[in-house]
Structure 1
Amino acid sequence: MEVSAQTSDLEQINSWKDEVNSTRESLRSMRSQLEQLSISKTDDESLAQIEHFQNQFICQEEKADELRHDLKQSARKISDNGKPLILHDDRPVDDFDVLQDRMHTFRKLYNELRDEFKAFSAFS
């Protein structure tokens, strides 16, 4: 890989890390909102929705943590000019296209969850 391509990839990865960090903050905020909603919503349907969102937030936070870690690993690998790293068989960090696809999926799932939660919390 050329140095300019490495620099470009590293800049993109750093941008993704910033986006993942912002998403993590947003998830924390939504979780806090959900806690407030759980105080006032006590009917069975609302409680089921609250549990659904709790589970979804946990899953999304876990994916954010994994992706953040893998983006850091990928950035380190590029910065260290390909020195060997411990790679996860199920989460490759050395393939930019795979990371790009994972980031796209992460973004899509987060946006869907955020929109679904906004609709739920609007009826409060």
Structure 2
Amino acid sequence: MEVPAQSTDIQAQFSTWKEEVDNVRSSLRTMRGKLQEIATSPQANNERSMAIEHFQNQFIRQLEVADEMYHDLKQSAKHMGYGNPAIVHHDRPVDDINSLQDRMQVFHKLHNELAGEFHRFESYD
């Protein structure tokens, strides 16, 4: 995916990315609800309980990452829109559009892996 060069294109890209982050948040909430149903089912044994705890922790962490990503996208869009330099976090770079694009790709990859893992677990019933 190529990064747009015009500021209006960049702003549109930020909007698209924020929408994608919101979709991931929604997906995580849905999976968390399904996990709650699994946790309260009669088939919840020790082995499944460990997997349930694993997914609870993964969902919490991925929601935290989604919140960080959304915040960084908002801040970068605001700063780039005003012509100010973007904010730089040492632990999560937001200093340029290419770094954000890379982070979004990793964000999607990790979410897709977690969703796939959860769906395999869910269908194992």
TM-score (normalizing by structure 2): 0.89
- The answer to whether the aligner puts 1:89 opposite 2:90 as a matched pair is yes
Q: Where has structure 1 moved over 6 Å in runs of 4 or more? A: none
Cα-Cα RMSD: 1.4
Counterpart residue type for residue 62 of structure 1: E
Q: Distance in 2 between matches of 1:99 and 1:86?
A: 12
Contact between 2:25 and 2:66, CA under 8 Å: does it hold in 1?
yes
Per the TM alignment, residue 92 of structure 1 is displaced from its structure 2 partner at its CA by 2.5
Distance (whole Å) between structure 2 residues aligned to residue 10 and residue 122 of structure 1: 40
CA distance in 2, matches of 1:10, 1:108: 23
Q: Measure, in 1, the Cα distance between the counterparts of 2:88 and 2:25.
A: 23
Matched, 1:123 2:115: no
**What is the Cα deviation at residue 64 of structure 1?**
0.3
Match of 2:32 in 1: 31
User: Per the alignment, do residues 120 and 21 of structure 1 end up closer, same or farther by CA in structure 2, a change over 3 Å counting?
Assistant: same
CA contact (8 A) 1:74 1:93 kept: yes
Paired residue type of 1:12:
Q
Q: Deviations over 1:9-31 (max 9, x none)?
A: 11111100000011101101110
Asked if the contact 2:88/2:94 (under 8 Å) is kept, the reply is yes
Give the letter for the 1:107 counterpart: H
User: For 1:102-121, what aligned pairs fall within 5 Å after superposition?
Assistant: 102-121=103-122
2:44 matched to 1:42?
yes
- The residue type paired with residue 102 of structure 1 is R
Structure 2 unaligned spans of 5+: none
What is the rounded CA distance, in whole Å, between the counterparts of 2:95 and 2:12 in structure 1?
15
Please give the alpha-carbon distance, in whole angstroms, between the structure 2 residues aligned to 1:26 and 1:97: 26
Identity, in percent, stands at 49
Counting helix residues as a fraction of each chain, which structure ranks higher?
Answer: 1
Q: Secondary structure at the match of 1:14?
A: helix
Partner of 1:16: 17
Give the letter for the 1:68 counterpart: Y
Please report the TM-score for the alignment, with normalisation by the length of structure 1: 0.89
Kindly indicate whether the alpha-carbon contact (under 8 Å) linking 1:20 and 1:68 is maintained by their aligned counterparts in 2: yes
Task: Give the length in aligned residue pairs.
Answer: 120
